A and B are shown apart, each in its own frame.
Chain A
Amino acid sequence: MANYEPPVTDYESIVENCTCAFCGCNCDDLDYLIKDGHVVGVRHACRLGASKIMEDMDQRLLVPMIRGEDGELAETDWDSALDKAAELIAGAVRPIFYGWSETSIETMHHGLELGELVGAVLDNQATICHGPSLQAVQNAGYPISTLGEVKNRADMCLYTGSNAMNSHPRHMARYSTFPRGYFRPRGRFDRTVVTLDPKYSDTAKMSDIWVGFEQNGDYEFYNAIRAVLKGKKLQKEFISGIPKEDVEELAEAMKNVQFGALFFGLGLTHTLSKQRNIDIAIQMVADLNSYTKWILMPMRGHFNVNGFNIFMAFETGFPYGVDFARGYQRYMNGETNTIDLLTRKECDVFMVIAADPGAHYPGGAVKHLAEIPVIQVDIHWGPSTEIADVVLPGSFVGVEVGGTSYRMDGVPIWMKKAIDKPETCRDDEWIIKEILERVKKIKAEQGALASK
């Protein structure tokens, strides 16, 4: 039993019903075991969530830093760092404030006010992950439900382009496949699980049916299902590498369930046909609703990536990539999104909060980031720190500070605080508010000067 880890027994107190700040599952049933002001154990969480919460001090950013003339980051005090950040933002022509998906809605409020004040672009990780899904939603519709509907009713769960067992480890356990629901009292045994994925993934291994169609075969496959649903005869013997009899059999099975749920991940959004894959998946779900009940849901990655889209939509009317440069909001995919602005070298100051573009962006975008001032608000050292000019150490939402987040299905959750943050760190909300206040002051001085 080399892998056996004995349970943690050496702790002082337990904080119950904490919310996990990792993926879009936002599991809110975690118990934190606390000792000496640290979380030494986490109950109920998956490995991803537990390790993030327990190893909160690993490569932790603890003090504000400014990159000096010598090109090295040097520790400084909060006032200097905030002043520097405010000065950069106040002087910017085309600033971008990017990230937000791993911080609270409360922080976003100040960020949006700052963005409107200086005419920035506000964007989040959707721009590089589920952006195509949102485009498809705008094309074709958005038939979703909360996860409890799936738990209580679904007799078929279909994962496509998503390896939930690895990316959202408790998704199947807590919401879709395994839990005993009101109308599915035997849990897993009352459901058929289907995985559509070229890869025989860990999720496929858990499934009753695995359809391993060809890579980039998504669109053709869904198109064929739709054709079968509409009573058409398939002309080709193989559809995306799958015998047509199997396609027909699956379509028939999908038609004959009582409640089906389709979960899709980046495997669908980022293969050949991009948002068109999602378009047709949405249309397929709409077609299926003429026979029985089906919903679909994007497997959102960060715990508040959906929250940013929701927040921006109710504040400005648009979900991401919102540009205030002209004094009003604009949303134009390909024009006002972060990657486009960076590769066109338009952006002149970049603030990243709770995200790691240094690790995730395409080379051309990172190259431009290396050439312009970058302000980082984060809790951990990462590739973005290497290109940052001002580093502002934040605090951990859902552990060290409370905050509102929105689960992948749109359920809002108050993530409560369990322990104190390191003394030298500040809450994200406070940091952004401070920058806002300082930028306002600079703008007021500039205004006073200009009117003289």
Chain B
Amino acid sequence: MEYVLKNGIVYDPANKVAGEKKDVMFKDGKIVDSVSADAKVLDVTDKIVMPAGIDPHAHVAGPKLVVGRIYRPEDSRKGVTHKTDILRSESGFSIPSCPSTGYRYSRMGYGTVVEAAVPPLEAKHTHEEINSTPNLDIVPLSLFGNNWFVLQYAKQNQIEDLAGFIAAWLRLAKCYGVKIVNPCGSEAWGWGMNVHGLDDPAPYWDVTGREVVTALAKANEMLGLPHSVHVHPNDLGHPGNYPTTVSTMEALKDIEKNSTVRGQTMHLTHAQFHAYGGTSWRDADSGADYIADYVNNNDHVTIDVGQVTLDETTTMTADAPMEFDLYKLSGLKWANKDVELETAAGIVPVIYSGKAPVNSLQWAIGLELFLKVNDPWKVCLTTDHPNAGPFIRYPRIISWLMSNERRQEMMDNREVHPWSHRRTSLASLEREYDFNEIATITRAGPAKIYGFQDRGALTPGFNADIAVFDINPNDIDPSRNHEAIEKGFSSAMYTIKDGEILVKDGEIVKVVKSHTLWTDVKGMEEQEKRVMDRVMPDFTKYYTIKFENYQVHDKYLPNPIVTEVQAGK
């Protein structure tokens, strides 16, 4: 089937198209240069046309999501909708059910989402949820930062074996890349402890976060994976944590990049939670300057923000000691889920309020990061869903980024607490994003960061993943019309995935199965064998599951998209 999206205003930053009126054509699921006269014409005159959205960091599928859903029926009861002829009923606000997650991303013009934390032992669970989430391609990242085998390889500085381990484990768990969460801290949580800073060793293992992050980054580059290491540094959410964040970035400064498809060797995730100054929540202030300066002056780091949206939400992270601290602060019900030999996880509901000084400070620091990082290719739009707020708030964040007037208004009329401007420089930042920059932080940038070669741009040959929004960029002043911007980006006029129209005028018209992206490393067979010989005795002794039953069988990935990588190339 051939289509022409006619007369749209196209924003395609990867191809340096910034608001040109032109046609976008696609055929049999791919973008093409030209179509025949029989092509179906979709009139999108003066509407915004962009590649479909790519969320570079969210928690949408897996064991901790389900703990959240089981123990928070009060959240599931929000957002319940009646089933329709083609849609199943929805539920949930911060932790929507799988079908709801797919529908809601689709309505916002998104096509790809990264599930940022998969414990390999429970990877089958994540893949089951991915299969139940329609209309999206999902990119799972596997947790490595507290894995006992990784701790040992890092301690002994055996980078080649570590690379073999990563290659083997990505294949076992069917994941796309390497995620690191509070390296050594989640292992310390096995004893109810945490580590503080990059050089505080994990109990017993006597290895530091610095050694783990560095070793994993080196191994990641040895393999030449499409994505860099994806780092959630130590000390998340603690006042005065920005030095830890900066030293984590510095630790990876000299690592040589081995990839032509991405620019960075480290992705710093939900930077907002890692950009606090002060010594306690009494005197906390913004450390956004330090993070933004580092990112502006160095090309090896990209970030996503983790913007606080001022909603009631459900926090969940493999940084379990931090979640326990949060429980001690808020007193709201605490869930925890540690995974043998691999990681930990904690879940706590949080009510972010504009009336609360700390939450308002977090809100402002997130916006500061967006506005202070000069190059939009280095920063991505996320809320670390659901940690700083649910993903359905992305359009609202876009409206804040595009309107200084709205930001000032929120501070002036006390929608947010005065800490937002007394303890940050937000009030002095007049920068406003334009549509091209929005397209960069929600589409082109994330695609580049993940090394995607088939999406994130309207390049001929790429997947026909396209979003059209009912906004006329030449006839709107986003600065003064924040509500129209939020509304426009909330419900896509068209969401097109692999050439199929899934959403029309904000309504889902078609439901398709999702795809799962994973990375298959070739050329490490020898190292992998050596690694398995070393790992298997310990695996048999210390896991509670047989190796045969540990791996994710192909059956759990009915629609895989495999990225094959030649190690070292």
A interface list, Cβ under 8 A from B: 16-17, 19, 28-29, 105, 116, 134, 137-149, 151-153, 174-175, 180-183, 258-259, 286, 289-295, 309-311, 313-319, 324, 326-331, 404, 406, 410-414
Interchain CB contact (< 8 A) of A313 among B70, B334, B544: B70
Interchain CB contact (< 8 A) of B339 among A140, A145, A290: A145
Task: Let me know if A331 and B73 touch, CB within 8 A.
Answer: yes
Task: Let me know if A181 and B190 touch, CB within 8 A.
Answer: no
Please name all residues of chain B whose beta carbon is closer than 8 Å to the beta carbon of A293 when the two chains form the complex. 189-192
Give complex CA distance A173, B316 in Å: 32
Task: Let me know if A410 and B546 touch, CB within 8 A.
Answer: no
Please name all residues of chain A whose beta carbon is closer than 8 Å to the beta carbon of B99 when the two chains form the complex. 315
Please name all residues of chain A whose beta carbon is closer than 8 Å to the beta carbon of B91 when the two chains form the complex. 316-318, 328-329
Task: Let me know if B338 and A331 touch, CB within 8 A.
Answer: no
Interchain CB contact (< 8 A) of A146 among B89, B191, B204, B338: B338
Task: Let me know if B70 and A310 touch, CB within 8 A.
Answer: yes
Interchain CB contact (< 8 A) of B334 among A19, A28, A141, A331: A141
Smallest Cβ distance from B557 to chain A, in angstroms? 13
What 1/0 flags go to B528-569 for Cβ under 8 Å of A? 000000000000011111101100010100000000000000
Task: Let me know if B544 and A174 touch, CB within 8 A.
Answer: yes
Task: Let me know if B191 and A412 touch, CB within 8 A.
Answer: no
Task: Let me know if A406 and B334 touch, CB within 8 A.
Answer: no
Interchain CB contact (< 8 A) of B128 among A146, A290, A314, A328: A314
CB contact list, B95-124 vs A, under 8 A: 95-100, 121-122, 124
Task: Let me know if A317 and B69 touch, CB within 8 A.
Answer: yes
CB-CB nearest in chain A for B336: A143
Given A309-B70, A310-B70, A318-B76, A286 and B338 contact (CB-CB distance below 8 Å): no
Q: Residue B504 at the A interface, CB < 8 A?
A: no
Please name all residues of chain B whose beta carbon is closer than 8 Å to the beta carbon of A141 when the two chains form the complex. 71, 327, 333-335
Task: Let me know if B125 and A331 touch, CB within 8 A.
Answer: no
Task: Let me know if A414 and B549 touch, CB within 8 A.
Answer: yes
CB-CB nearest in chain B for A25: B544
Given A17-B549, A146-B544, A182-B542, A259 and B340 contact (CB-CB distance below 8 Å): no
Smallest Cβ distance from B54 to chain A, in angstroms? 23
Task: Let me know if B128 and A105 touch, CB within 8 A.
Answer: yes
CB contact list, B46-89 vs A, under 8 A: 61, 63, 65-67, 69-73, 75-77, 80-83, 88-89
Which residue, B98, B190, B341, has most C-beta atoms of chain A within 10 A? B190
Smallest Cβ distance from A70 to chain B, in angstroms? 41
Task: Let me know if A134 and B333 touch, CB within 8 A.
Answer: no
Interchain CB contact (< 8 A) of A138 among B71, B96, B132: B71
Give complex CA distance A151, B543 in Å: 9
Task: Let me know if A313 and B336 touch, CB within 8 A.
Answer: no
Report how many A-B pairs have Cβ atoms within 8 Å.
Answer: 195
CB-CB nearest in chain B for A413: B549
Interchain CB contact (< 8 A) of B132 among A314, A326, A331, A410: A314
Please name all residues of chain B whose beta carbon is closer than 8 Å to the beta carbon of A153 when the two chains form the complex. 190-191
Please name all residues of chain A whose beta carbon is closer than 8 Å to the beta carbon of B324 when the two chains form the complex. 289
CB-CB nearest in chain B for A19: B549
Smallest Cβ distance from B489 to chain A, in angstroms? 25
Which residue, B82, B124, B344, has most C-beta atoms of chain A within 10 A? B124
Task: Let me know if B543 and A317 touch, CB within 8 A.
Answer: no
Q: Residue B129 at the A interface, CB < 8 A?
A: yes
Task: Let me know if A138 and B124 touch, CB within 8 A.
Answer: no
Give complex CA distance A327, B336 in Å: 33
Q: Residue B506 at the A interface, CB < 8 A?
A: no
Which residue, A146, A181, A406, has most C-beta atoms of chain B within 10 A? A146
Give complex CA distance A290, B193 in Å: 10
Task: Let me know if B76 and A144 touch, CB within 8 A.
Answer: no
Q: Residue B92 at the A interface, CB < 8 A?
A: yes
Please name all residues of chain B whose beta carbon is closer than 8 Å to the beta carbon of A311 when the two chains form the complex. 128
Listed A/B pairs (10) with beta-carbon separation below 8 Å: A17-B548, A144-B335, A144-B336, A145-B344, A183-B204, A259-B192, A317-B80, A319-B69, A406-B125, A414-B549
Task: Let me know if B66 and A152 touch, CB within 8 A.
Answer: no
Task: Let me know if A314 and B66 touch, CB within 8 A.
Answer: yes
Given A141-B71, A314-B97, A289 and B544 contact (CB-CB distance below 8 Å): no
Q: Residue B337 at the A interface, CB < 8 A?
A: yes
B interface list, Cβ under 8 A from A: 61, 63, 65-67, 69-73, 75-77, 80-83, 88-92, 95-100, 121-122, 124-125, 128-129, 132, 148, 189-192, 204, 324, 327-328, 333-341, 344, 347, 541-546, 548-549, 553, 555
Give complex CA distance A94, B91 in Å: 22
Give complex CA distance A176, B83 in Å: 45
Give complex CA distance A16, B69 in Å: 35
Smallest Cβ distance from B337 to chain A, in angstroms? 6
Interchain CB contact (< 8 A) of A175 among B341, B544, B549: B544
Please name all residues of chain B whose beta carbon is closer than 8 Å to the beta carbon of A138 when the two chains form the complex. 70-73, 333
Give complex CA distance A181, B148 in Å: 13
Please name all residues of chain A whose beta carbon is closer than 8 Å to the beta carbon of B100 when the two chains form the complex. 317
Please name all residues of chain B whose beta carbon is closer than 8 Å to the beta carbon of A329 when the two chains form the complex. 80, 89, 91
Smallest Cβ distance from B322 to chain A, in angstroms? 13
CB-CB nearest in chain B for A288: B192
Interchain CB contact (< 8 A) of A328 among B80, B541, B543: B80
Please name all residues of chain A whose beta carbon is closer than 8 Å to the beta carbon of B92 when the two chains form the complex. 317
Please name all residues of chain B whose beta carbon is closer than 8 Å to the beta carbon of A116 when the two chains form the complex. 83, 88-89
Knowing that A141-B335, A144-B67 touch, tell me 5 more A-B residue pairs with CB under 8 angstroms: A141-B334, A146-B122, A152-B542, A293-B192, A411-B122
Please name all residues of chain B whose beta carbon is closer than 8 Å to the beta carbon of A258 when the two chains form the complex. 191
Task: Let me know if A414 and B333 touch, CB within 8 A.
Answer: no
Task: Let me know if B333 and A140 touch, CB within 8 A.
Answer: yes
Please name all residues of chain A whose beta carbon is closer than 8 Å to the beta carbon of B338 when the two chains form the complex. 144-146, 149, 295
Give complex CA distance A105, B127 in Å: 13
Give complex CA distance A259, B541 in Å: 19
CB-CB nearest in chain B for A309: B70
CB-CB nearest in chain B for A333: B73
CB-CB nearest in chain A for B74: A138
Smallest Cβ distance from A162 to chain B, in angstroms? 18
Please name all residues of chain A whose beta carbon is closer than 8 Å to the beta carbon of B190 when the two chains form the complex. 149, 153, 259, 293
Please name all residues of chain A whose beta carbon is closer than 8 Å to the beta carbon of B72 when the two chains form the complex. 138
Smallest Cβ distance from A353 to chain B, in angstroms? 19
Give complex CA distance A294, B148 in Å: 20
Which residue, A19, A143, A309, A318, has most C-beta atoms of chain B within 10 A? A143
Smallest Cβ distance from B150 to chain A, in angstroms? 15
Please name all residues of chain B whose beta carbon is closer than 8 Å to the beta carbon of A17 when the two chains form the complex. 546, 548-549
CB-CB nearest in chain A for B346: A143
Which residue, A148, A324, A330, A406, has most C-beta atoms of chain B within 10 A? A148
Task: Let me know if A148 and B543 touch, CB within 8 A.
Answer: yes
Give complex CA distance A290, B334 in Å: 13
Please name all residues of chain B whose beta carbon is closer than 8 Å to the beta carbon of A142 when the two chains form the complex. 67, 70-71, 333-337, 347
Given A143-B335, A314-B65, A148 and B97 contact (CB-CB distance below 8 Å): no
Task: Let me know if A147 and B340 touch, CB within 8 A.
Answer: yes
Task: Let me know if A28 and B192 touch, CB within 8 A.
Answer: no
Task: Let me know if B544 and A147 touch, CB within 8 A.
Answer: yes
CB-CB nearest in chain A for B133: A314
Task: Let me know if B336 and A413 touch, CB within 8 A.
Answer: no
- Complex A-B, nearest 9 residue pairs according to Cβ-Cβ distance, in ascending order: A148-B340, A317-B76, A317-B91, A293-B192, A145-B338, A328-B89, A141-B333, A142-B335, A412-B124
Task: Let me know if B542 and A410 touch, CB within 8 A.
Answer: no
Task: Let me know if B336 and A295 touch, CB within 8 A.
Answer: yes
